[in-house]
Amino acid sequence: GAGVSQSPRYKVAKRGQDVALRCDPISGHVSLFWYQQALGQGPEFLTYFQNEAQLDKSGLPSDRFFAERPEGSVSTLKIQRTQQEDSAVYLCASSLAGQGLGTEAFFGQGTRLTVV
């Protein structure tokens, strides 16, 4: 597609429910990132993929968070047993390649997760 696509745009989950957030990166983009943006804050890094390999998951806040990108294209961020503090906008970004060149990252519109 022309840009990074995320679905759903909005998700309301009951506390304790599992959720799955999807990201379709720009075709051909090697690098894929997930960020979490709490209300009134800047985005914070969660995890990074280069093709299907998850090279950095240092930002995942707990073992309830899991991300995958099995075929090096679409990625899914899964949150198990959601809690209220998980409420945030989850942003996905992709770039051509992480080659230390300051490659531009293109962001999706995000998924706003509200846990009630």
Partner 1 sequence: AQSVTQLDSQVPVFEEAPVELRCNYSSSVSVYLFWYVQYPNQGLQLLLKYLSGSTLVKGINGFEAEFNKSQTSFHLRKPSVHISDTAEYFCAVIPISNFGNEKLTFGTGTRLTIIP
Using CB under 8 A, list all residues that contact partner 1.
4, 31, 33, 35, 40-45, 48, 50, 55-56, 59, 91, 93, 95, 98-105, 107-110
CB of 41 to partner 1, least distance (A): 6
Q: In 3D, which of 65, 69, 29 has the Cα closest to residue 46?
A: 65
* Alpha carbon distances (Å) from 113 to 18, 21, 48, 92: 12, 9, 20, 14
Of residues 2 and 14, the one with the C-beta less far from partner 1: 2
Of residues 80 and 112, the one with the C-beta less far from partner 1: 112
Q: Is the Cβ–Cβ distance between 114 and 12 less than 8 Å? A: yes
